Amino acid sequence: MKTHKENTILTFLLSILVLGISIPPRIPLPIYIPGRTFDLRLEDIIIVILLIGWLLYFTFNLRFYKTPLSRPIIMYVAIGIVTTGIAFIITPFNVYRAFFYHLKEIEYFVIFFLVATGIRTIKGLKIMCTTLLIAGGINALWVFIQYITGKSSQLLYITEPARVSNNLELLDRYGVGLIGEISPFSVCIFFTLISFLAYSYYWTITSHKDKLFLIVGIVFTACSLSAGEKIGVVLLGISMMVFFLLCNKKRVIKLQQLLILIVTLIVIVLNKITRIFPFVIRIFHIHSYMIRSDRTIRWEQLMQYGYKHFLTGVGKGSRYLVPGEVGGLEEAHNHYIKIFVESGIFGLLAFICLLITIGFMCYRVNRHSVFSVSKIISGATLCALIGLSVAAIIQDAFKPVLINELFWVFVGLTAAAYRIEKISFRIKSTISRKIEKE
């Protein structure tokens, strides 16, 4: 009875965490970090509360779930701290930036551990997946309102609109916003990740409800594409290939249905959206999918700069400027090069090892799980992993706070499913042995 109550409370708190990530705005704080603003988010407060409770619970119960990602995460964080420390000794830079950059990255992993250890039942998995879809639905409703009014912005402000929100010309190019954020890349990837979950339901379940999830997925896809980011189209194509490979050949008809509806969506719905938000038209231009020459030149400059610090890097949060460039590593437009320059070759290898480990975990859960919800969340997470890994080639995809917090919620749920399936298998094996003995 006690365990059931604990599971219910943990699931409820983690559901609040998901809503906190997906809806509330940023709260600017008067903390000076060179080149950056410091924003407090609701989920930061929730994470601190959950972490304190988790540490107290662990202290008294002495039970710790060693997830399949524990070692690669610890290795990656440790290498980042060591290389940053060495870089600081060799060429001092702003220690506050390094601290807060590490802190935010560690926060992603804390979200992962909280979700992975807090969700312990199939019911908990289902509730969390439902919460994710609800969070997407609430933001989709706001996109619909922007579509009706013809005005794009985020809904919630803590202070008077500033920066992007106060620049109408820039805001027009930024496209539709979420309830708490306006960044087109974050809007696009947020809805893309949620659409992966809806499509995973569609591909996995066999009941009459599958069509409902197909419609929901297409709505999220429309919201993603309305942000005007080309990467949304690329990630959609990747997800279709992943689901096609994960599911059996009898589901080919589902792929046909999906493609027909998506093409119809692009031709009809987006055609109307482009009349209200002209920037969306760029996703139809084939040449815009080509990698721009200015980015390749920048990558070459960053790589040449990184070779000088091949082993240790220049440190996390460093703003070392590449000759002839402004902004340093703030906008590398290639996350792998960014990590290489910051943490050296060992940091890059540790990061790639982490991504590969996540991929293997997702595949194992999807292939060997008994419960359908485990297949659903692992399939969605695998699509998210491959999609962000591809996006990281042309964007700093693993840097934006909103989408990375959401991504690690997905990964945490897959790790929780891994644990649940493993325990279920052990219980069934024990029962089978007892029956055989009798």
Q: pLDDT-based confidence at 34, cuts 50/70/90?
A: low
Between 34-43, 117-126, 200-209, 224-233, the lowest mean confidence (pLDDT) is in 34-43
Q: What is the pLDDT of residue 380?
A: 95
What total number of domains does the chain contain? 1
What CA–CA distances, in Å, run from 363 to 21, 106, 354, 367, 409? 26, 25, 14, 6, 17
pLDDT at 434 over 60: no
Q: pLDDT-based confidence at 326, cuts 50/70/90?
A: very low
298, 3 contact by CB (below 8 A): no
Give dist(CA 1, CA 7) in Å, integer. 10
Domain that holds residue 29: 2-437
Stretch 235-262: mean pLDDT, rounded? Answer: 70
- Give the pair of three-digit tokens for residue 281: 């038209």
Between 38-42, 122-126, 127-131, 405-409, the lowest mean confidence (pLDDT) is in 38-42
For 325-365, the DSSP string reads -SSTTTT-S-HHHHHHHHHHHHHHHHHHHHHHHHHHHHHHH
How many Cβ atoms sit within 10 Å of the Cβ of residue 292? Answer: 11
What CA–CA distances, in Å, run from 325 to 158, 268, 302, 304? 34, 42, 10, 13
Give tens-digit pLDDT for 291-315: 666 677 777 778 877 777 788 778 7
The secondary structure of 29-46, three-state, reads: EEEEECCEEEEECHHHHH
Mean pLDDT of the chain: 78
Higher pLDDT, 385 or 259: 385
Higher pLDDT, 297 or 281: 297
Q: What is the pLDDT of residue 142?
A: 92
Report the percentage of the chain scoring pLDDT > 70.
70
Stretch 241-260: mean pLDDT, rounded? Answer: 67
For 73-110, the DSSP string reads HHHHHHHHHHHHHHHHHHS---HHHHHHHHHHHHHHHH
138, 179 contact by CB (below 8 A): yes
Give tens-digit pLDDT for 140-183: 999 888 888 877 777 776 554 445 555 555 555 567 888 888 88
Report the percentage of the chain scoring pLDDT > 90.
24
Higher pLDDT, 277 or 419: 419
pLDDT at 422 over 50: yes
Residues in the chain: 438
Higher pLDDT, 94 or 339: 339
Stretch 5-11: mean pLDDT, rounded? Answer: 80
Give tens-digit pLDDT for 181-223: 888 888 999 999 999 999 999 888 877 777 788 889 888 988 8
Q: What is the pLDDT of residue 381?
A: 96
Stretch 349-358: mean pLDDT, rounded? Answer: 95
- 295 Cβ neighbours under 8 A, 6+ residues apart: 333, 334, 394
Give dist(CA 95, CA 107) in Å, integer. 18
Q: What are the phi and psi torsion angles at 105 (to 5°)?
A: -65, -40
Higher pLDDT, 273 or 411: 411
